[in-house]
Amino acid sequence: MIKGLAITPPVIGRISIGKVVEHNGKRIPEKDDSFTITTQVQGKDGWLLHPLHTALIEQQTKAAPSSEGTATSQGNGQSGPASANAQPSLANTQTKLRAIPVRLLFNASDLNLRAEYSAFDRKTGRPLCVGNGEQAKRVTATGLDETPCPTPERCPFGIKAGCKLYGRLNVQIEGQQDELGSFIFRTTGYNSVRTLAARLRYFEAVSGGNTRHLKLMLKLRAKSTTQSHRAPVYYVDLTLREGESLQEAVCYAKAEAQHFQESGVETAELELAALALLQNGQFEDGEDEVPQLLEEFYPAAEGLSDTTPIPEGQSDLPDIETAPALTVSPTPPPLRGPIPATGKARVRVAPLTPRLGQSGAPAAG
């Protein structure tokens, strides 16, 4: 296998809470208060909607026709019924999607959610420094050096370079056909990363390492903070499906895990393969994705130099507070103990998520 190339979980679509629009001849990110599920293809009006987005909107409309039969359009502010087209443009979306039924691709939390502190060159898109709150890899004139990572707020280099938190969550949406494909949600919001990291750890612990088999819901929540000037700040949460208790969810997950094992599906081997592929290279995001990531997450702001961080306060609207840098995949310690030949094997993955509780970061977004 070729070396130096980080091979990520296969992506068949995107999940976002914002979009890029053209204003006064410039393409800038626009805030939103709902999810948008798109394909990986862009048209003149932006990313094309994925058929699952339309299907979920139709299900939502049928479930609550009186309250959600009509909604404000993202494009023109008018109201109307949901579109029946398989792939309407984002401007034609006339209902709000604030909950998505999902499952996870892995049991290991750090394979599902990967987050680092990232700084990059805004002109070239090349990574400058990537760390996890303890150690960082920084590009220097002599190559790639390891250096302590005191978190962006306490790092002179990070403050100057605009180092920020960047996370990527891979999920599978109910109804997709590809059993090994996933949809990716990218975020630069502290609230989203904190909440998702906590939920994933809790679900992994309470289910006995059977997180992959839990029926979950990706939800959009709102909160107000002093930094947002009391305006709502939206962030992403991960919960159980409505109407299902924790006991019921765990019992179902364990039964399904047992069924997978009896059928010969090797989840532990899948996670080992995924971990090895991620560690195969230094940077996760490919060069072809960098321009789109910079445009969506870190637009050029008037009055800001190339090394001036964008102000805090609206990091999850739509997670465009910072730009996602190409991230370095840290090398975790070796797995503990051999994988048993029988029974349920669990994979322990080194933490890729920064120690947010020790960062001293503000609670914005």
Q: Which of 97, 114, 129 is the last residue of a domain?
A: 97
C-alpha 161/C-alpha 155 separation (Å) is 10
216 and 81: one domain?
no
Q: Which of 64, 97, 130 is the last residue of a domain?
A: 97
Helices then strands, each counted (H, E), the chain? 8, 14
pTM: predicted TM-score of the whole model, two decimal places: 0.72
Stated as kind and residue range, the H or E segment containing 262 is: helix 246-263
Whether the predicted pLDDT of 148 surpasses 70? yes
* Structure confidence at residue 194 (pLDDT): 95
Confidence of residue 305 (pLDDT cuts 50, 70, 90): very low
Whether the predicted pLDDT of 215 surpasses 90? yes
153 and 18: one domain?
no
C-alpha 138/C-alpha 149 separation (Å) is 10
* Structure confidence at residue 60 (pLDDT): 87
C-alpha 266/C-alpha 185 separation (Å) is 26
Higher pLDDT, 176 or 4: 176
118 and 172: one domain?
yes
82 and 211: one domain?
no
In a domain, 5, yes or no: no
Stated as kind and residue range, the H or E segment containing 273 is: helix 267-278
- Percent of the chain exceeding pLDDT 90 equals 41
* Structure confidence at residue 95 (pLDDT): 80
Whether the predicted pLDDT of 363 surpasses 80? no
How many residues are given for the chain?
Answer: 365
Residue 189 CB-density burial (10 A; 0-12 exposed, 13-18 middle, 19+ buried) = buried
67-94 pLDDT, tens digit per residue, is 434 433 343 434 444 443 444 444 344 5
C-alpha 41/C-alpha 173 separation (Å) is 18
7-45 pLDDT, tens digit per residue, is 899 999 999 987 766 667 666 667 788 999 999 998 877
In a domain, 1, yes or no: no
* Structure confidence at residue 299 (pLDDT): 53
Whether the predicted pLDDT of 309 surpasses 60? no
* Structure confidence at residue 348 (pLDDT): 54
Tell me which residue of 44, 48, 21, 43 sits closest to 32, measured CA to CA. Answer: 21
58 and 78: one domain?
yes
78 and 119: one domain?
no
DSSP state letter for 342: S
Mean pLDDT of the chain: 76
146 and 261: one domain?
yes
The winner for highest mean pLDDT among 80-84, 102-106, 123-127, 316-320 is 102-106
164 and 274: one domain?
yes
Whether the predicted pLDDT of 229 surpasses 70? yes
3-state secondary structure of 56: helix
* Structure confidence at residue 103 (pLDDT): 98
In a domain, 365, yes or no: no
Task: Tell me the CA distances in angstroms from 274 to 77, 84, 139, 279, one per residue in order.
Answer: 43, 37, 26, 9
202 and 309: one domain?
yes
Q: What is the largest CA-CA distance in the chain?
A: 64
* Structure confidence at residue 20 (pLDDT): 66
Phi, psi (5° rounding) for residue 78?
A: -95, 165
C-alpha 242/C-alpha 217 separation (Å) is 8
In a domain, 16, yes or no: yes
C-alpha 165/C-alpha 322 separation (Å) is 8
74 and 207: one domain?
no
C-alpha 135/C-alpha 175 separation (Å) is 40
118 and 92: one domain?
no
162 and 47: one domain?
no
Instruction: Give how many domains the chain has, as a whole number.
Output: 2
Whether the predicted pLDDT of 220 surpasses 90? yes
C-alpha 189/C-alpha 5 separation (Å) is 27
In a domain, 2, yes or no: no
Q: 321: which 2 tokens?
A: 């507070």
Confidence of residue 312 (pLDDT cuts 50, 70, 90): very low
Which residue type occupies 304? L
Taking CA 288 as the corner, what is the angle to CA 74 and CA 306, rounded to the nearest 5 degrees? 75
- Percent of the chain exceeding pLDDT 70 equals 66
Q: Which of 97, 127, 161 is the last residue of a domain?
A: 97
Which domain does 215 fall in, by range? 102-336+344-356
